[in-house]
Homo-oligomer: A and B are copies of this chain.
Amino acid sequence: MRSFRVELGTNSHEVHVGAGLIGELGRLAIRASLAPGKCVLVTDSNVGGRYAAAATEALRGAGFAPVLIEIAPGEASKSAATLGDLYDRMTSAEIDRSGTVFALGGGVVGDLAGFAAASYLRGIAVVQIPTTVVAQVDSALGGKTGINHPRAKNLIGAFHQPRLIVADVNTLSTLPDREFREGIAEVIKYGAIMDAAMLSDLERDLARILTRDPMVLEAMVARSLAHKASVVSADEREGGLRKILNFGHTIGHALEASAGYGAWLHGEAVAIGMVAAARLSERHAGLSADESSRLSTLISDAGLPTGLPRGAGNREFLNALKLDKKRAQGMVEFILLDRIGHALPIRLSFEQILAVFA
């Protein structure tokens, strides 16, 4: 087990990464000063079938009385309707201000259950127990929670820091291949924006990562989360530095939205977005063609898509881009690279962005 603390003032909390940690969940929750008693365990029916029993047993062993709430798997559950169901179930379970929401699953469960916790009684505790690569290396840490609006992803949401993160890398062994690989896109991102040595290590270790060697995965998840923690600690509410984590995400989100949520996995859209952002970086930030190509090659070797789909740049895509959160006062702020391992925000006009689709 590797453990570290995310420094966020009064919102500081522990992170634990290791194999078999779901069995330690109750003990770790007590150590994080969470009150035992009534609580909810939110998961989806896929993850729940595999891990809810173990999580429930671990929680009960430490004095928690979890009520299991299973949602349907998939992005469609990040909806106002599912959120409303959660509120109903939480009131039925008589969850009060001392209650905790345990979010066991991928990004959908974490975002939805996290926002339910953020907005129930003006905010109760949430513990993130991420079970996908994307969630373990990225979305579980940082406090971003929310649901989708039919017109834009994550339009409704709040910053609500977890009280604890428990990442059990054993859960990655049962992930479908496509879902596993999409998470590697987020790992590559940390190398690209802030750690050139990590990018080299990823090039070296890629084969062992793709065969899911647990030792390599534990190191990979912990290194990614530590990078994210350092950024989030310096900028909890995305006022400045934290924006660099959006590398690849502006185009990625617009692709997801315009293709209909679910056509692309998030990490796949981000992979394409990173390649497009690297091309924009060549034109507007001084990234060399060699470095740009090295990044595309790693993404491709990880089994991720790199090419903008035919029809990107269509009307739906532009509408989605227009509503993207990074837009302010008519320009779109992009995170670009001036070299591998270093990112910076640059404002681009729609015309400059469109040129990359030509």
Seen from chain A, the residues whose Cβ lies within 8 Å of a Cβ on chain B are: 35, 37, 80, 84, 87-88, 91, 94, 96-98, 118-123, 144, 146, 149, 151-152, 154-159, 237, 322-323, 325, 327-329
A156 interface neighbour in B35, B87, B146, B323, Cβ under 8 Å = B87
Closest beta carbon of chain B to A234's beta carbon, Å: 15
Contact B158 A96, beta carbon cutoff 8 Å: no
Contact A87 B149, beta carbon cutoff 8 Å: yes
Contact B123 A159, beta carbon cutoff 8 Å: yes
Beyond A119-B156, A120-B155, A156-B119, is A84–B94 a contact (Cβ under 8 Å)? no
With the chains together, A94 CA to B329 CA distance in Å?
A: 11
Q: What residues on B are CB-neighbors of A119 within 8 Å?
A: 119, 146, 156-158
Closest to A329 in B: B98
Closest beta carbon of chain B to A131's beta carbon, Å: 24
A91 interface neighbour in B80, B123, B323, B328, Cβ under 8 Å = B323
Closest to A118 in B: B158
Closest to A37 in B: B329
Beyond A84-B80, A152-B91, A328-B96, is A144–B158 a contact (Cβ under 8 Å)? no
Copies held by the complex: 2
Contact B158 A94, beta carbon cutoff 8 Å: no
With the chains together, A121 CA to B323 CA distance in Å?
A: 10
Sample of 6 more A-B contacts, CB < 8 Å, known A88-B151, A96-B327: A94-B322, A96-B329, A97-B327, A119-B119, A119-B146, A121-B155
Closest beta carbon of chain B to A277's beta carbon, Å: 20
Q: What residues on B are CB-neighbors of A328 within 8 Å?
A: 96-98
Closest beta carbon of chain B to A331's beta carbon, Å: 11
A149 interface neighbour in B91, B156, B322, B325, Cβ under 8 Å = B91
With the chains together, A261 CA to B156 CA distance in Å?
A: 26
With the chains together, A321 CA to B237 CA distance in Å?
A: 36
Closest to A144 in B: B122
For this complex, 27 residue pairs linking A to B, each with C-beta atoms less than 8 Å apart, are A37-B329, A80-B80, A87-B149, A87-B156, A88-B149, A91-B149, A91-B151, A91-B152, A91-B323, A94-B323, A96-B325, A96-B327, A96-B328, A96-B329, A97-B328, A98-B329, A119-B119, A119-B146, A119-B156, A119-B158, A120-B155, A122-B144, A122-B146, A122-B154, A122-B158, A122-B325, A123-B158
With the chains together, A46 CA to B91 CA distance in Å?
A: 33
Closest beta carbon of chain B to A152's beta carbon, Å: 7
8 nearest CB pairs, A to B: A122-B157, A91-B151, A98-B328, A121-B325, A119-B156, A96-B327, A96-B328, A122-B159
